[in-house]
Amino acid sequence: MTKRKELYAADSIKEIRQKMEKWGKEVYNTEKERQEPFRTFSGLPIKSLYTPEDISGIDYLQDMGFPGEEPFVRGIHPTMYRERGWTLRQLAGFGPPEETNRRYRLLLKEGATGINGVFDYPTLRGYDSTDPIARADAGRGGVAIDTLEDMRILFDGIPIEKISSSLVTCQPICNITVQSMYFANAQDRGVQLNRLTGTSQNDFLMETAITVAPEVLPPRFSFKLSCDAIEYCTQHVPYWNPVSFSGYNYRESGCTAIQEIAFVIANAIACSEELIRRGSHVDSFAPRLSFFLSAHNDFFEEIAKYRAARRIWCRIMKDRFGAKNPRSLAFRFHVQTAGVALTAQQPLNNIARSAYHGLSAVLGGAQSVHIDGYDEALCTPTELSALTALRINQILQLETGVTNTVDPLGGSYFIESLTGQLEEMIVTLLEKIDQMGGIVKAVETGWIHREISDSAYNYQQAIESGKMPVVGVNCYREEDEKLPMDLFQVPETLRIQEERIKKIKKERDPFRAQHALDEISRCCDENGNLMEVIVESVKAYVTEGEISRTIKGCYGTWNMPLF
Amino acid sequence: MKKDIRVVIARLGMDAHWRGSIVVARALRDAGMEVIYVGNQMPENIAETAVQEYADVVGLSTLSGNHMILAPEVVRHLRERGMEQTIVVLGGTIPPDDVPKLKEAGIAEIFGPGTPLKKIISFLSGLR
């Protein structure tokens, strides 16, 4: 163990402490504080003032270092936003693919620098639009994708060889097919897989704990599909991030900042262990593991959270997995501003909320940012709301000057203390999950569901009691409020998808389609990598529903523990 | 002694968001009601459960936008089973313009985003 070199000399700290005690007694205590517990959202106590003493235990070179170097607290790139701004990646998706294609084109024309595509409820859960239990949800919450033909329409005219696409394929059961359709479509367009850039979410916790469905795969099989996709991409699609551990959604379900980071990292640990068990070297896949986080209301805690996550990840990858490649040690993340913090009441106030959220994300060193639309609590964003959100992102990047130096809050007594405190809490929670046997076990036993629902309940109680003020909801509420804007109407989807599926089933080669599904069954039985098979299967125009029914037929389904 | 109010809580169709329904379920339980949480279901199954559980209330939750299609179907299936006395309430992101149409279709009350739990509890307690 190398000797630690503390940040400040012991005698200066001693003098600062003495002076502060005196100041506390003679000055501060003569004033009157508000009577409330000063705590972060996660419950960490906050002092009235932070001084060099609070960070004197830091060894600068070991604990902070320089951007682009271990332990990456100050950022994962040496130059950060001085070289290139964060990617403006605004989420979009609704209705049939032709409608979402139009929204993609609009956002790119207006300055978005990446695609961020969300899929509708049935697609995310592996159902065709025409499935009896899916029909009422076709085209809602995202775009409907049933076959390779839909994927072709969705990305028609979008330069996928040049810009990166993030596919919000959060459930592995969806990802394994929809990502395969994206790859197959790229091949059809003559773009080689080894040139494609983008990300898929592919997070088994999403399938089994966060956004659940009527029937889901048992956790260990959902986890297997997720690892299949990572393994496949490592070998064939080297610039693709095959997973984006979706702490954002954990947070939206109720998690605290501490749980958000602990659960994404526990998930990434499990995937790493599985990939290593399958024979991959950590440095072959770890550089492409990516994360997706929330930016919620507690401004400083959020900033500290991103910084703590980077330090924890670096140390785990190095000490636990022996990673050598610096890219394996760098915690890369996309941020979406917290939808759950937005209100249906006085919705224009959400513009201010999301702007603050976005500011915390970039002060925390995010690689790409989505700003929510002000109508998030009411509907899918209208064109006006989506464009306003993009403009907020652009104002942040171009007008505020926050891009001019790297990690501008690094060294703040408060931020560094909070970063250290959060790190400690997160590491403790990670140890607890380890003792349980890892994240897959924690899902199977329902522990994770209970943790999240407890946090969600506490959050709501804090709003109920007024302890957590929400402007327009539990204070400054307006009675008989009139909505100041139009709401989005989801365009007709089911009829279009129904006709398209019918046409495809009539025109496709039935023997080839059946063969494709048989191959998937065989691969499940042989415990092979399903991605390899499904990238080919989708070219036979089998539907997403047919593929996931085949997989569920082999692996069975699971009911998540009810609360 | 009055008997406890029995509430079946379900999420409609494919909707993914469980947070609201779970928080409401816990609050109702804490307020002394008997809560049966059934997760994602289609209207017919929800009505079946309500019959089997002698439900006084069916609480539906959805944020996906499927409410105009599925919520009235729950009411219809309940009435077909003779459950005239069981009331149906709905929570989630429901655009204001849809509220009168849903009430006309037999939904007793709609609780949009930001509704205090107290309001839901007192509405259901008033049913006794």
Cβ-defined contact of B13 to A137 (cutoff 8 Å) = yes
Its pTM stands at: 0.95
Q: Which of B41, B64, B118 sits opposite A137 (nearest CB)?
A: B64
Assign A78 to helix, strand or coil. Answer: coil
Q: Is B29 on the interface with A (CB under 8 A)?
A: no
Q: Is B56 on the interface with A (CB under 8 A)?
A: no
Residues of A in contact with B27 (CB under 8 A): 457, 460
For range A73-90, the mean pLDDT = 95
Residues of A in contact with B38 (CB under 8 A): 562
Closest Cα in chain A to B25? A563
Q: What is the phi/psi pair of residue A487, to 5°?
A: -100, 155
Say whether pLDDT at B1 is over 60.
no
Mean per-residue pLDDT over chain A, rounded: 95
> Of the candidates A563, A349, A545, A351, which has an alpha carbon nearest to the alpha carbon of residue A449?
A563
Residues of A in contact with B96 (CB under 8 A): 483
8 Å CB contact between A494 and A139: yes
In a domain, B57, yes or no: yes
Residue B62, domain extent? 6-125
What percentage of residues in chain A have a pLDDT greater than 90? Answer: 91
For range A350-373, the mean pLDDT = 97
- A183-208 pLDDT, tens per residue? 999 999 999 999 999 999 999 999 99
Say whether pLDDT at A1 is over 80.
no
Which amino acid, one-letter code, is at A274?
A: E
- A316-328 pLDDT, tens per residue? 999 999 999 999 9
ipTM score for this prediction: 0.93
Q: Is B66 on the interface with A (CB under 8 A)?
A: yes
Q: What's the number of CA atoms in the CB half-sphere (13 Å) around residue A366? A: 31
- A94-129 pLDDT, tens per residue? 999 999 999 999 999 999 989 999 999 999 999 999
* A interface test, pick of B19, B29, B44, B61 with most A CB neighbours within 10 Å: B19
Cβ-defined contact of A344 to B93 (cutoff 8 Å) = yes
Cβ-defined contact of B41 to A470 (cutoff 8 Å) = no
Task: Give the helix ranges, DSSP H, for A287-330.
Answer: 299-315, 326-329
The residues on A that touch B, with CB distances below 8 Å, are 121-122, 124-125, 127, 132-137, 140-141, 211-214, 252-254, 340, 343-345, 377-380, 453, 456-457, 460, 464, 470, 472-474, 483, 487, 490, 559-560, 562-563
Report B:83-102 residues touching A (Cβ under 8 A): 93, 95-97
Q: From the CA of B2, how many Å to the nearest CA of chain A?
A: 26
Residues 6+ apart with CB under 8 A from A10: none
In a domain, B78, yes or no: yes
Closest Cα in chain B to A563? B22
Say whether pLDDT at A560 is over 70.
yes
Q: Where residue A379 falls among pLDDT bands split at 50, 70, 90? A: confident
Walk me through the domains of chain A, giving residue ranges and CATH numbers.
84-406+434-464 (3.20.20.240)
Inter-chain contacts counted by CB atoms under 8 A, chains A and B:
109
What percentage of residues in chain B have a pLDDT greater than 70? Answer: 98
Q: Which two tokens stand for residue A247?
A: 């702490």
State the total domains in chain B.
1
- pLDDT the model gives residue A563: 60
Cβ-defined contact of B64 to A140 (cutoff 8 Å) = yes
Residues of B in contact with A212 (CB under 8 A): 16, 18, 39-40
Q: Which two tokens stand for residue A273?
A: 């262990």
- pLDDT the model gives residue A559: 85
Instruction: Return the H-helix or E-strand segment holding A558.
Output: none
Report B:2-21 residues touching A (Cβ under 8 A): 12-19
What ranges make up the beta strands (E) of A185-248? 198-200, 240-241, 243-246
Closest Cα in chain A to B115? A473
Q: Where residue A227 falls among pLDDT bands split at 50, 70, 90? A: very high
Cβ-defined contact of B65 to A140 (cutoff 8 Å) = yes
Tokens 């109680």 correspond to A461
Closest Cα in chain B to A488? B95
How many degrees, rounded to 5, is the angle at CA B1 between CA A562 and CA B3?
30
The CATH number linked to B11 is 3.40.50.280
Q: How many CB atoms lie within 10 A of CB A525?
A: 9
Q: Where residue A245 falls among pLDDT bands split at 50, 70, 90? A: very high
Q: Which of A124, A345, A453 sits opposite B114 (nearest CB)?
A: A345
* B interface test, pick of A137, A380, A470, A474 with most B CB neighbours within 10 Å: A137
In a domain, B1, yes or no: no
Distance of CA B89 to the CA centre of its chain: 4
Q: Which two tokens stand for residue B29?
A: 């339980």
- pLDDT the model gives residue A297: 98
Tokens 């290139």 correspond to A84
Which amino acid, one-letter code, is at A78?
A: P
